[in-house]
Structure 1
Amino acid sequence: MRKVSYSEFGGPDVLRIVDAEEPHAGPGQVRVAVRAAGVNPVDWRIREGQKLGAHPVELPAGVGLDAAGVVDEVGPGVVGVGPGDRVFGEGTDTYAEFAVLSAWARMPEGLTFEEAAGYPSVVETALRVLREVGVRPGQTLLVSGAAGGVGSAVLQIARDRGVAVIGTAGAANQDYLRGLGADATTYGEGWAERVRRLGRPVDAALDLAGAGVVADLVDLVGDPRRVVTIADLEAPRHGVRFSGVAGSVPDALAEAADLIARGRLHIPVTRSYPLTEAAAAHADSRAGHTRGRRVITL
């Protein structure tokens, strides 16, 4: 089968399409014929060699955590799903024609494979950071870097829970954030003062872009324990929690499926790339300014 792989850490140019042996489902796993794979910042962070303890790497390595596809092999102990079922979930080396998933859910009706591949890690991360930051109904949450996949999910899930939201993003994404129910303002010089002028006291904040804003977020909230980041590895110096260890992925997928089915969650696909353009997908993801999700299609 074809698979994206790399044999050394580095930039997008280290990615190669290789012929590899097909993986097989072990106990509690399913194998899918991949139709689409989600592109996540963690993919290129791992490829660059960043020390992410939750994702140890042995070279040569494959790429990708998220996928949507058709089940074609079921491991021992798996019940409730079988060959031919359309699922989305998390696994390993998903930039490939076949991948093994360790957590999955059936795709909601009406969802395309490209759309479904954009949800697993994004929704797990969104649910996790909302839990860790401890924001409650009636409070206001500030989200820095709100237009990307995780930000899109956070804004919609928070609103569904009765939390008011403020989002920062580029000028081109202001109407997009407002469409998700957020008060919106641009990032860049003077952004914190623009947030203050919105007139809402900020009870908690999330840093999703790693743009060096953690100190300002702490100042706006007034308590570093009420700020969480998924992108700034230096944040603990400010007393801010770096969230990098996944919670229950099956539970997150079940909640995602429910939110999607109820029309409470929709994350658009900004761009799809063929497997041969995985390097371009990584370069674009690293450049930021994403609205919604990027996916690899097969």
Structure 2
Amino acid sequence: MHTVRFAEYGAPSVLTVEEADRPEPGRGQVRVAVKAAGVNPFDVKVRSGAMRFGTLPRGLGSEVAGTVDALGEGVTDTAVGEAVAGWALTGGYAEYALVGTYAAKPEELDWAQAAALPVAGEAALRGLRELAPRKGETLLVHGASGTVGAIAVQFAVAGGVTVVGTAGEANLERVQALGAIPVAYGEGLADRVREAAPQGVDAVLDAAGHGVLPDAIALRGGTTERIVTLADGAAQELGVRFSSGGAAGQTPEVLRTLLDAQAQGRLVMPEPRLMSLANAAQAHAELEAHGSGKIVLIP
């Protein structure tokens, strides 16, 4: 099979397409013939060496959608040929990948839509779960036009929460269309949020990591209570909770919540940009350069 791997940390050019044996599923795992694999900022950090773990050479890609190709021992909740989406245990930038946590792909979603949801969707739902905004409260979402922020906004609004969403000037209309009160980034941000939410801010979810935590603390009256960041490394020194997630939050229930919401039109996401597996290096370069928009690789 074709797979994307890298033998040294560095620029996107270290990514190469290689031939490898198909992985064999272990107990509780399925092998998936990959139809689409999401590209995420986490992949960029691993490839660049900003985050180092495991051994080299290695593959990349943690979210995939495709058809079940083989079953590991003990698997009874799916069958060969079924369409699924989930988190890859082996590099998802490949023609075949092992998946341990998965859910059936609704017919209403294409492969790319399904592959674009697991990572960002889990992060958004995790942030909301940790903050637990209640109906009638006001939630501030930093980075509301990004993939994670947009998902968080829509689920919060659906739960009766008033959402103030920050974004760049070019994305304010999108934030408003999602049901949030749009506020532009830049100097004077805290004052603009106060004007948009004179009732105050009950909780803050930072999905952007653009140094907004001091403003978030000010808007919460000087306390770090009910502030969660998914992206800002300055969290620890400021006493803010950094939510990094992990396998515990990657459940079939989370996947079904996300996939069903999009299939039923309750979660509206922009169409991801499609690129070939051979162009994985270009995908990384564009993600580093622009930092927004979802890219999905098609084997």
User: Could you tell me how far apart the structure 2 residues matched to 1:283 and 1:158 are?
Assistant: 33
Alignment of 1:198 onto 2:211: no
Partner of 2:111: 113
Question: How do residues 55-70 of structure 1 correspond to structure 2 at under 5 angstroms?
Answer: 56-70=53-67
Look up the SS of the partner of 1:265 in the other structure: coil
Partner of 2:26: 26
TM-score by structure 2 length?
0.93
Question: How do residues 1-298 of structure 1 correspond to structure 2 at under 5 angstroms?
Answer: 1-51=1-51, 56-91=53-88, 92-200=90-198, 201-222=200-221, 223-246=223-246, 247-288=249-290, 290-291=292-293, 293-298=294-299
Runs of 4+ in 1 over 3 A off after TM superposition: none
User: Could you tell me how far apart the structure 2 residues matched to 1:284 and 1:196 are?
Assistant: 35
What's the offset of the Cα at 1:206? 1.4
Consecutive unaligned residues of structure 1, counting only runs of 5 or more, are none
What's the offset of the Cα at 1:193? 2.0
TM-score by structure 1 length?
0.93
| CA gap 1:171/1:270 in 2 versus in 1, 3 angstroms | farther
What's the offset of the Cα at 1:3? 0.9
User: Could you tell me how far apart the structure 2 residues matched to 1:162 and 1:268 are?
Assistant: 23
What's the offset of the Cα at 1:288? 4.3
User: Could you tell me how far apart the structure 2 residues matched to 1:147 and 1:265 are?
Assistant: 14
Q: Tell me if the contact between 1:108 and 1:260 (Cα under 8 Å) persists in the aligned partners.
A: no
Select between 276-285 and 34-43 the one with higher mean Cα deviation.
276-285
Look up the equivalent residue of 2:273 and give its one-letter code.
R
Give aligned pairs, total: 294
User: Could you tell me how far apart the structure 2 residues matched to 1:229 and 1:266 are?
Assistant: 23
What's the offset of the Cα at 1:270? 3.8
Look up the equivalent residue of 2:39 and give its one-letter code.
V
Cα deviation, 1:67-109, whole Å, max 9, x if unaligned, reads 0111111111111211111111101300111111111111112
Q: Tell me if the contact between 2:103 and 2:255 (Cα under 8 Å) persists in the aligned partners.
A: yes
User: Could you tell me how far apart the structure 2 residues matched to 1:270 and 1:186 are?
Assistant: 24
Look up the SS of the partner of 1:257 in the other structure: helix
Q: Tell me if the contact between 2:262 and 2:268 (Cα under 8 Å) persists in the aligned partners.
A: yes
User: Could you tell me how far apart the structure 1 residues matched to 2:238 and 2:290 are?
Assistant: 24
What's the offset of the Cα at 1:151? 1.0
What's the offset of the Cα at 1:209? 1.6
Select between 278-287 and 5-14 the one with higher mean Cα deviation.
278-287
Q: Tell me if the contact between 1:28 and 1:76 (Cα under 8 Å) persists in the aligned partners.
A: yes
User: Could you tell me how far apart the structure 1 residues matched to 2:51 and 2:69 are?
Assistant: 34
Cα deviation, 1:50-69, whole Å, max 9, x if unaligned, reads 347xxx32211100000011
User: Could you tell me how far apart the structure 2 residues matched to 1:162 and 1:154 are?
Assistant: 13
User: Could you tell me how far apart the structure 1 residues matched to 2:103 and 2:245 are?
Assistant: 21
Q: Tell me if the contact between 2:138 and 2:161 (Cα under 8 Å) persists in the aligned partners.
A: yes
Look up the SS of the partner of 1:284 in the other structure: helix
User: Could you tell me how far apart the structure 2 residues matched to 1:268 and 1:165 are?
Assistant: 20
Aligned CA RMSD, in angstroms, stands at 1.6
Look up the SS of the partner of 1:24 in the other structure: coil
Select between 119-128 and 269-278 the one with higher mean Cα deviation.
269-278
Q: Tell me if the contact between 1:145 and 1:167 (Cα under 8 Å) persists in the aligned partners.
A: yes
User: Could you tell me how far apart the structure 2 residues matched to 1:164 and 1:284 are?
Assistant: 34
Look up the equivalent residue of 1:257 and give its one-letter code.
L
Cα deviation, 1:26-47, whole Å, max 9, x if unaligned, reads 1111111111111111111122
What's the offset of the Cα at 1:271? 1.5
Select between 254-263 and 81-90 the one with higher mean Cα deviation.
254-263
User: Could you tell me how far apart the structure 2 residues matched to 1:288 and 1:164 are?
Assistant: 29
